[in-house]
Amino acid sequence: MSIFKGAGVALVTPMKENGEVDYASLERLLEDQVANGTDAIISVGTTGEAPTLDDDEHLDVIRFCVQKVAGRIPVIAGTGSNNTAHAIMMSKEAQAAGADGCLLVAPYYNKATQEGLKQSFSAIAHAVDIPCILYNVPSRTGTNILPETAAWLGKNVENIAAVKEASGNISQVAELIEKAEGSLDVYSGNDDQIVPVMSLGGIGVISVLSNVAPRFTHDMTMHCLEGDYGTAAKEQLKALELCRSLFCEVNPIPVKAALNMQGFAVGSPRLPLTEMTDAGKERLRAAMTEFGIL
């Protein structure tokens, strides 16, 4: 059974001026997302700055999200690592905290073989009882989870339930869905490819766009699920410049700037990420204004 269908938000982690996690702002974001129809919260993934949160902070944010969402929608915890033992520990802790699933990014930097990916993801999934979503984002990790690897995992490991596909390669997505033969749910990992991925059989998106336009993103996915691809395609095209602007600098730099413009006070990213450039902010502000969310 699917963890969720529709639009899951890859939620930012708000920071105070001193760099600490801002839980008051995080609660406000969570309530805004639930109120605007978001179908799942993805806590402490790439957009949530997982690489620069220590383990205690990381797990505290997951616990906070689970507590505040209180079962209204699923909370999926980012627990992947390039250290399989560390990913197992984090996934167990996320399950203990009440998370509804884990998001497992492909091991980064190590450049594992496809066999290494099979063994690593299998070990993590076997250590927990909650569903696991594989996260394929070769542009960040240097490793591509090939369709045959993901399909093998979906067919042979019971609680590997889905893939967040952010390769940007729509042919790979089609091949993945073909080879998986229904053993995996597929979520778009790219906001500019929501409708194409769902037209091939995907069931939703794990979205950066949802941070700033949650109702719009949810509605786009619902049109797809209802078979109204004509309306969904128009919405996808309407959002393209906003999507481009949200990725004109490294994520989550732009989305944090966008939320600050909207009055959510999420602060700056932690180093080595920096504040958005003035030129980037100008482009982003123009796109948000044109889109109607500023």
Question: What SS3 class is residue 143?
Answer: coil
Q: Which helix (H) or strand (E) holds 211?
A: none
In a domain, 281, yes or no: no
Domain housing 61: 6-229
What's the pLDDT at 8?
98
- 271 within a domain of the structure (yes/no): no
Question: CATH code at 43?
Answer: 3.20.20.70
**Residue 106 counted as domain residue:** yes
Question: Over the chain, what is the mean pLDDT?
Answer: 97
With contact defined as beta carbons under 8 Å apart, do 164 and 135 qualify?
A: yes
254 occurs within a structural domain:
no
Q: Kindly state whether residue 283 falls inside one of the protein's structural domains.
A: no
Cis (ω within 30 of 0) for the bond into 252? yes
- pLDDT, tens digit, 9 for 90 and up, residues 82-139: 999 999 999 999 999 999 999 999 999 999 999 999 999 999 999 999 999 999 999 9
188 located within any domain: yes
Q: How many domains does the chain have?
A: 1
Over the stretch 41-61, which tens digit does the pLDDT of each residue have? 999 999 999 999 999 999 999
What does pTM read for this prediction? Answer: 0.96
Q: Is residue 208 part of a domain?
A: yes
The share of the chain scoring above pLDDT 70, in percent, equals: 100
Task: Count CB neighbours of 90 within 10 A.
Answer: 25
Q: How many residues does the chain have?
A: 294
Could you count the other beta carbons within 10 Å of the beta carbon of residue 26? 23
pLDDT-based confidence at 1, cuts 50/70/90?
low
Residues 154-169 have a mean pLDDT of 97
Over 90: is that where the pLDDT of 2 sits?
no
Kindly state whether residue 234 falls inside one of the protein's structural domains: no
Catalytic center residues: 135, 164
